Amino acid sequence: MTEGAPERCANSERGLCVSESIEDLDEAPPAAETLPLDAWHRARGGRMVEFAGYWMPVQYEGIIAEHLWTREHAGLFDVSHMGQLVLSGEGLDAALEAVLPIDLSTLRLGQQRYSFLLDEDGGVLDDLMVQRWPEAVYLVVNGATKWDDMAHLREALPDAINLNYLDEHALFALQGPEAAAVLERHATGEHPLSALRFMRFGVFELAGVPVTISRSGYTGEDGFEISLPGDAAEQIAELLGAEPEVKPIGLGARDSLRLEAGLPLYGHDLSPETSPVEAGLGFGINKRRRAEGGFPGADRILAELASGTARKCVGLALDGRQAAREGAPVFSGNKLVGIVTSGGFSPSLERPIAAAYVAGAHVAHGTVLEIEVRGKRLTATVTALPFIPHRYCR
């Protein structure tokens, strides 16, 4: 990917898939909704595009510059388009375990875990985050799928379970090696922010505004996600954005960061046509659930965990400078063995990279394959994921 070449995909989530040039991006249609920080983004030169039904910034000063700034300092992302849901009611754990392959008995107050909504065939309807709140569970689901997710949950869960959509809340992500130092200057609470470790959360105040802060994110860097009242979004963005370590970051860099970190993008690397095991996300099926089953698609998923899958999601490092995009076929000699699901230029590695589903006989690290792009074969080598080591605070 070049600095001016992200890809816009309506079903993409925690980032922006990478193939169209900025100049090719259409203006958002009138039906697109605005988020609380819309004017704030525009005032800072954010290039706004329609994404998951909202006006959102794809870039400010440039994707490569924003990407590298986040890797070195701290980037502020507005991800308020995502769905924040609170579930409560009698029998909540058992009801939710019938829908998600999660073991809620081991999810303690203040802990967060990655999980999935699955269909009856084991395909991924969405990937999501789950937090244990007092007498409730909080979910963060992808923006492009949130309405379908809510409909699915309402149908699948018993009437005793309440589902509350926090539509008046905003969600920020502050990511990068200097993010902790920035937040520690402002966050106050019963416990210091430094007590949080990866996939833990707590209740704090920022400039007197009550917020929930989790030590998590989708860039591979140490960082935080901040849930806050929407009417305080501009105040908190100004507070954090005024720090010298912080710059606003758009969806283009968010995608290149998550691709380097080997993190899947729903609608591309994950879909109803893929299972968590194929995607290399078997860790999201907790130990007790592997033994007991009892979740949608369990027969297929437990069989795949036991016997393997016909294909797997792998990383590909490409020779040269030309990037491969989603949908590009992958070959071993003259044999079609896979398909690219995400691809672009890695600013950190200064080379093209991709994620692809590849037949099991060709997934060993170091295997040399070819990707067909515009009638030309590009040499690519299967490599370990993530491309860039994670730097989470564990």
Are the C-beta atoms of residues 1 and 28 closer than 8 Å to each other?
Answer: no
Residue 373, domain member (yes or no): yes
Q: Which of 94, 123, 99 is nearest to 301 (CA)?
A: 123
Along the 394 residues of the chain, how does pLDDT read in single tens digits?
Answer: 222 333 333 333 443 333 333 333 344 345 789 999 999 999 999 999 999 999 999 999 999 999 999 999 999 999 999 999 999 999 999 999 999 999 999 999 999 999 999 999 999 999 999 999 999 999 999 999 999 999 999 999 999 999 999 999 999 999 999 999 999 999 999 999 999 999 999 999 999 999 999 999 999 999 999 999 999 999 999 999 999 999 999 999 999 999 999 999 999 999 999 999 999 999 999 999 999 999 999 999 999 999 999 999 999 999 999 999 999 999 999 999 999 999 999 999 999 999 999 999 999 999 999 999 999 999 999 999 999 999 999 9
Cis-peptide, bond into residue 30, ω within 30° of zero? no
Burial of 11 (0-12, 13-18, 19+ CB in 10 A): middle
- Please tell me the predicted confidence (pLDDT) of residue 206: 98
Specify the number of domains making up the chain: 1
Query: Going by C-beta distance under 8 Å and a sequence separation of 6 or more, which residues neighbour residue 307?
Result: none
Helix (H), strand (E), coil (C) string for 176-235: CCCHHHHHHCCEECCCCHHHCCCCEEEEEEECCEEEEEECCCCCCCCEEEEEEEHHHHHH
154-209 pLDDT tens trace: 999 999 999 999 999 999 999 999 999 999 999 999 999 999 999 999 999 999 99
Note down the domain range covering 325.
310-394
- Number of alpha carbons in the 13 Å side-chain half-sphere of residue 325: 15
CA distance 27 to 4: 16
Number of Cβ within 10 Å of residue 336's Cβ equals 11
Residue 374, domain member (yes or no): yes
CA distance 356 to 360: 12
57, containing H or E segment: strand 54-59
381 forms beta bridges with 317, 368
CA distance 125 to 141: 11
Residue 388, domain member (yes or no): yes
DSSP secondary structure string for all residues of 141-154? E-GGGHHHHHHHHH
Residue 260, domain member (yes or no): no
- Please tell me the predicted confidence (pLDDT) of residue 23: 37
Q: Which two tokens stand for residue 44?
A: 């800072």
Burial of 223 (0-12, 13-18, 19+ CB in 10 A): buried
Residue 63, domain member (yes or no): no
285-298 pLDDT tens trace: 999 999 999 999 99
3-state class (DSSP) for residue 113: strand
Residue 55, domain member (yes or no): no
CATH of the domain at 375: 2.40.30.110
CA distance 71 to 346: 12
∠ CA 346-385-256, rounded to 5°: 25
CA distance 105 to 158: 19
CA distance 292 to 171: 35
Residue 365, domain member (yes or no): yes
Q: Which two tokens stand for residue 104?
A: 């809620």
- Please tell me the predicted confidence (pLDDT) of residue 31: 77
Pairing of β 209-214 and β 376-383: unpaired
3-state class (DSSP) for residue 251: helix
CA distance 79 to 204: 19
Query: Going by C-beta distance under 8 Å and a sequence separation of 6 or more, which residues neighbour residue 135?
Result: 88
Are the C-beta atoms of residues 51 and 255 closer than 8 Å to each other?
Answer: no
Q: What does the longest C-alpha to C-alpha distance in the chain come to?
A: 63
Residue 333, domain member (yes or no): yes
- Please tell me the predicted confidence (pLDDT) of residue 17: 39
Are the C-beta atoms of residues 63 and 250 closer than 8 Å to each other?
Answer: yes
Query: Going by C-beta distance under 8 Å and a sequence separation of 6 or more, which residues neighbour residue 180?
Result: 193, 194, 222, 224, 393
